[in-house]
Structure 1
């Protein structure tokens, strides 16, 4: 017979039993055990998000034996974490609470994972409706509360109850109290690496310029920078020396003047460095027309980028949780 190898090398990292729910309705009671676990694949990584069909069984022995209770559930797994209640589909009333020790077995894809996990003391109060509730782990806070903690998800659930989950964007079940209160909230907010900010109150300080008191709650706001100026001390000076005076030279035939007096008149009327060559006179006008030129310069360039991958204040990182039940 071929032996089937489970796809999960370490499937059940931890099962936490907490927060016993005993709901009375006349003489009838609905009894449930809260349970939370973490699922890993064969490579030790969290299993893919999605629904998993899981069979839960309660045995009176750690190994072998026959299960005295069994229930099948389809559970949404997100980030490897699942949360449910035993007793949702099959009543827990007929078990011998108080006289036997029970161990939970979990079956996924036809294979039951080992070892089984012993139930803690909390479920044994199922045998007595008047049991001291101080012996159970109560959920702290109220539905919709948010907490920062230095404790990881498993540690946090141990001391705060499994009605709290990491605020990681996971889907809400229809039966979750938070979903009942806010029916449109199909997923909890994804607070991964995000800073939290108070909602604006109408008519108050208005520090969040891009939101109002009517803005939807728990919506991501993209990063941004306030409009500002940069100093630029670039200065360009262009100097062109004045100049460009000039003179004109032209010849006048010597015979075109009567006597030499005519030539002398020309030589002294705005001329300079004149000379006579053969039958013609070279006339040089005096220099004139001093002027300057205007130059237009264009300066190009850029301001180099500098800094890290985000804009942030000095901060500490903690786990963040939200109560959903």
Structure 2
């Protein structure tokens, strides 16, 4: 994708063409209308022309020149490329929808490249009479250079929007990101940034020059349970993650349930028009843990030299 990743300085509109209490973050669908100025390294903005930016189908007015081609939403867009939501429903780089069910309580590689590994832990259940599990993404494990990071949806009996259900770890140690919109944390080497995109239960993960992920924790709602006949027990909300990724500089040999769709030679074998196109690959992409790169097609190598190589690539 061309251009630097840009941020937005956003605030509520006060009616006279000025924004109130601007703060740095990403454009949000939750506060409209608003005026936002896109920040891009070394860019001079103008307030003479009023333009409308169409961001994932949402028109957002702002007073500045557009110098980039793509922005990222405040929350994962489950209808956009690079997303993985629901049970689980993925959208590949080509925009095609596919389902990968995996198995409950097991781990699978979503992306595997020499410098990046992203695994998912699936939770699920299998009601009587079904031949496969219902599954959801409960946790993600990121490996890059010589470091690792995990984010997971905590087990919740009864869901509450007033409680944060996100848990983090960095290099094997628990990590706390204080609640509060735009609360953030940076790794000591500044390669990894976490920024809350809401007071609780949503966060942006940025691996500098490698990848971005927008994450949100959600429960299985009563409506979804009844619609799909999940038969969710009363003592478990099955809190899980909705996610959308962006990647920078993946190799042509990238693998993984989602990663393979980013290969230049990728050919979509899913039949068009199929209501629920399901792809296999459990045997190819299964890993032994959330932070393992031992699947049959995994190419990531956890080496100290990776940090030096990554800086050279940038």
More strand by share: 2
- TM-score norm. by structure 2 comes to 0.22
Q: TM-score, normalised by structure 1?
A: 0.21
Point out which structure has higher relative CO (alpha carbons under 8 A, 6+ apart): 2
Query: Larger Rg: 1 or 2?
Result: 1
